[in-house]
Amino acid sequence: MSGFCKELQERLKADTSNILLFVTDRVKDRHNTDFVRGLVTTLAEACIDGLGGPVEAIKLNEEKFSNLCMDILTELEFTTAQEIQCILSIQLLSTKLEHPVGLFIGLLNQLYQSDVVKYPATKEWKDDTQADNQSGKGVCVAASSHLLVEIAEQFDEGADNDDDDAPLNN
């Protein structure tokens, strides 16, 4: 784990009031895959109850994670490629924790609801066939299939609404 992630962990345990400043001071690092993955994983782990216990006891504190997403991750304004790294980081975390029920979908839903990740990233992640990105992916896709369909439908509805605003060619 990087020094940044270790320091972020310590700050999350103590006083979270300066977390945003701590992260945004390193905003230049957001283009680094390891930084994005480390940041999202560290924030997610700080919001999971029951770590170290049986897999059945592991639960996401959705309110805490939502607050961190809104306070920190939305400030970074990720590109689609970085959004995919966010999804990959929660996929790998869920896999490492042996896929606790509701963890991956809860994390993905909060990232989506907070506008940290958007439809293009979810589609690219789902369709990705790179060997390095497949660990635990099947379980995560299956666990989130309903949410992924909802996200796609919302995107399609938005695209249809945009077409309604377009001028008609006569």
Domain membership flag for residue 96: yes
Domain membership flag for residue 78: yes
> Do residues 139 and 99 touch, judged by C-beta distance below 8 A?
yes
How far CA 18 is from CA of 4, 9, 83, 129, in Å, comes to: 14, 13, 24, 39
Question: How many domains does one find in the chain?
Answer: 1
Domain membership flag for residue 73: yes
Pairwise CA distance, residues 42 & 37, whole Å: 8
Pairwise CA distance, residues 11 & 85, whole Å: 23
Sign of CA dihedral 41, 123, 98, 110: positive
pLDDT of residue 143: 96
Domain membership flag for residue 27: yes
Task: Please report, for the domain that includes residue 40, its CATH number.
Answer: 1.25.40.180
Domain membership flag for residue 170: no
C-alpha angle 140-83-75 in degrees, rounded to nearest 5: 130
Burial zone of 93 (CB within 10 Å; 0-12 exposed, 13-18 middle, 19+ buried): buried
> Do residues 114 and 65 touch, judged by C-beta distance below 8 A?
no
Domain membership flag for residue 45: yes
pLDDT of residue 1: 53
- In 14-113, alpha helices (H): 19-24, 33-45, 62-71, 80-96, 103-113
* Domain extent at residue 28: 3-165
Beta pairing partners, 59: 49
Domain membership flag for residue 53: yes
Which mean pLDDT values do the consecutive 10-residue runs of the chain (170 residues) have?
86 82 84 91 95 94 89 89 97 97 96 96 97 96 97 88 50
pLDDT of residue 162: 59
Domain membership flag for residue 10: yes
